[in-house]
Structure 1
Amino acid sequence: MIKKIYQYKLRTFINASHAIRWSDGQGAIHPHTWEVVLNIIPPAESTSEVVKFEDIELLVQNYLQKYSGQTLNEMAPFRKINPTLENFADVLFDELTAALNVIQFQLVQLDLGESAKRFYSISLAN
C-alpha cells in the first residue's frame, strides 16, 4: 500500500545582494530577488487538523527578515563561506529546519532561486 505524505508548500521572496569570491578576487556586488520555496510536513498527529498558513508564513518571514536588504557577504556565516546560491540554500535549509522544528513542522525540501531560470534544491533523503 502506498502511504500518503501530506505537505505544505510555501513560496516567499528575499531581496538581498551578494558577490561571489573567485580564486582571483571577488566579483561585483549585485542584487537578487531570491525565491524561496519550502515543502514542509506537519506533525503526524495534526494531519486532520486545520493549519493556519498565516502562522507558518509569519514564522518563516520573521526568520528571513534578517536577510532583507542586506549584502550576504557582510553577514555571518558568509563572511567566511562563499555566498553562492548553493551555500545560501544550505544555510537557509539548516536554519529554517531549526525554526520550523519549534512548531514541530519538518522541512523536507527547499528550492532557492536567484533568478526565474536558476534554482538549487535541497531535500531530505528517504
Structure 2
Amino acid sequence: MSEMMPEEYHTYKIKSYVNASHAMRWEDGEGKQHNHTWEIICEIHTSNDHMIIFNDLEKAVNRVLAGISGQFLNQLAYFEKVNPTLENVTIYLFHLIGPELEKMQANLIRIEVGESPTRFYCISATE
C-alpha cells in the first residue's frame, strides 16, 4: 500500500535589512531616539504556484523598505499617532508590502520583523 503524499504548498522567502530609528512614546513623554538594523523576512505565495523571479520579489519589497530606510520612524505620517513599537512597525510593513506583492500575483502570507537578533514580531495572513 502506498501512502498519500501531502499536498504541497510552495512559498518564497525574502530577507531584507533596513536601518531606521525610533523612540518609544510613554505616558510621561518620549524615550530616547535609537537606531536598529531591522530584519524583515517575508514569506510569499504566488497565485496558481507560478514562478516569479526572486529579483522581482526583492525589488517589490525594497520599494516599500526604501520609504523607511534611514528614517526616524516617529516622523512618518503613520507613526505620528501610532507608537512605533516593534509590533506596530510590523503591522505597518505588512499593510504596505502586501499590496505591492499583489500587483505581481503574489500574496504576503507571513512577515517577521526583528529589531534585534533575538526579538521578532510576526504576522501571518489568514485565508
Cα distance, 1:125 vs structure 2: 2.8
Percent identical among aligned pairs is 41
Cα distance, 1:45 vs structure 2: 5.2
Q: What code does the residue aligned with 1:98 have?
A: P
Cα distance, 1:103 vs structure 2: 0.7
For residues 1-126 of structure 1, the aligned pairs below 5 Å read: 2-44=6-48, 46=50, 49=51, 51-126=52-127
Q: What code does the residue aligned with 1:83 have?
A: P
Distance 2:106 2:84 in 1: 27
Aligned length: 123
Question: TM-score normalized by structure 1?
Answer: 0.93
Instruction: Give the gaps of 5 or more residues in structure 1.
Output: none
Q: In the TM superposition, what whole-angstrom CA distance separates every residue of 1:68-118 from its partner, at most 9, and x where no partner exists?
A: 100000002001100000000001001111111111100000000000000
Distance 1:107 1:59 in 2: 11
Distance 2:111 2:57 in 1: 15
Q: In the TM superposition, what whole-angstrom CA distance separates every residue of 1:17-59 from its partner, at most 9, and x where no partner exists?
A: 000101111100000000000000011151xx4x211111011
Distance 1:69 1:79 in 2: 17
CA RMSD, 1 decimal: 1.2
Distance 1:125 1:45 in 2: 18
Question: TM-score normalized by structure 2?
Answer: 0.92
Distance 1:59 1:98 in 2: 10
Flag the structure with larger Rg: 2
Distance 1:76 1:116 in 2: 27
